[in-house]
Amino acid sequence: MTEKRSRGRPRAFNDKTEQNTIQALDRAMMILEELAGFEGLTLSDVAERLSQSPATVYRVLVTLEGRGITEMDPVSQTWMVGPKAFLIGSSFLRRTSVVERARPYMRELMQATGETANLGVERGTHVMFVSQVETHASIRAFFPPGTLSPLHASGIGKALLAHADADRLDEFLKAGPLEGFTPHTITNPDNLRVDLSAIRSRGYALDNEERASGMRCVAAPVFNALGEAVAGLSVSGPVSRMTEGRAKSVGWVVTKAARDLSINLGAPET
């Protein structure tokens, strides 16, 4: 009897070898990802950074431009991500109501603390920031939507790891060495487990200059109706304003906001 395939899946669905990838499409995505990291790059910049020929890169950029996924500034002759890319990417945010429902709580957090409020979700071994309400202060944290940060080196990431089940945490720690970004990054798995235990006890996570020197972050997990940690709220700011003492008081504010948002999403009141 022939095995029935799931709709939308070819026979080679589980075959990820090169024969089942489209090289030109993969190259286009690589170029688009490179553009996303900058406000604008020249054709030569892109070609040099990706070790591709300018002619090949130009064909890709022009093709994407025809779909509105890239655009070129005729004055500076630089290429950047286009508006259609934003519309396509926004479909990810529409998969869950947490982004929309989090906005009022993020605005309140920013107003209450005077610091930038962030919302992030887990994406593999990273946190992806999906929304932000910036402070008006001249020196501030900035994480554009789509920015990725390793789970072990971010407040939201550690808040999510602290509430992951044992198998998920073991899987994460076995995936590879924990990269160090500053002298404060926790790169020892045992030390990270101790920190995660402390996070569960107090209810919020601290990023003490672990991803970027001079910046401190306080974060708390957001739960859904099933009690699963599906996102995290955080407040980030320079250590000159976000002192260790102030971070503790901000922690309770962030924890309350995350708890209120969780209840809004259907999580049981505790």
pLDDT digits (tens, 9 = 90+) for 205-250: 999 999 999 999 999 999 988 889 999 999 999 999 999 899 999 9
- pLDDT computed for residue 183 by the predictor: 96
Separation in Å, CA 209 to CA 7, 101, 128, 194: 47, 29, 18, 18
Q: What is the mean pLDDT of the chain?
A: 87
**Spatial contact of 109 and 253, defined as CB atoms under 8 Å apart:** yes
Each residue's pLDDT tens digit, 89-146: 766 655 557 888 899 999 999 999 999 999 999 988 999 999 999 887 766 677 777 8
Q: Does 44 score more than 50 pLDDT?
A: yes
In this structure, which long-range contacts are made by residues 225-231, counting pairs with CB atoms below 8 Å and at least 24 apart in sequence? 225/265, 225/266, 225/267, 225/268, 227/267, 227/268, 229/159, 229/160, 229/163, 229/164, 230/96, 230/98, 230/121, 230/265, 231/98, 231/102, 231/119, 231/120, 231/121, 231/130, 231/156
Tokens at 113, concatenated: 């603390």
Question: What pLDDT does 5 receive?
Answer: 47
Half-sphere exposure of 253 (CA within 13 A, CB side): 22
When mean pLDDT is compared across 71-85, 132-146, 184-198, 208-222, the lowest value belongs to: 132-146
Q: For helices 54-66 and 43-50, what crossing angle results, to 10°? A: 120
Average pLDDT over residues 146-153: 91
% of the chain residues with pLDDT over 90: 67
Q: What angle is formed at CA 155 by the lines to CA 152 and CA 158, rounded to 5 degrees?
A: 45
Instruction: Name the token pair of 249.
Output: 């008081």
Domains identified in the chain and CATH numbers: 18-83 (1.10.10.10), 96-264 (3.30.450.40)
pLDDT at 122: 93
CA dihedral 158, 160, 165, 168 (to 10 degrees): -70
Q: Determine which helix (DSSP H) or strand (DSSP E) holds 32, and give its type and residue range.
A: helix 23-36
User: How far, in Å, CA of 97 to CA of 87, rounded?
Assistant: 17
Residue 46 binned pLDDT confidence (cut-offs 50, 70, 90): very high
pTM of this prediction? 0.69
d(C-alpha 161, C-alpha 205), whole Å = 10
Spatial separation of the C-alpha atoms in residues 45 and 47, rounded to whole Å: 6
Residue 65: pLDDT over 90:
yes
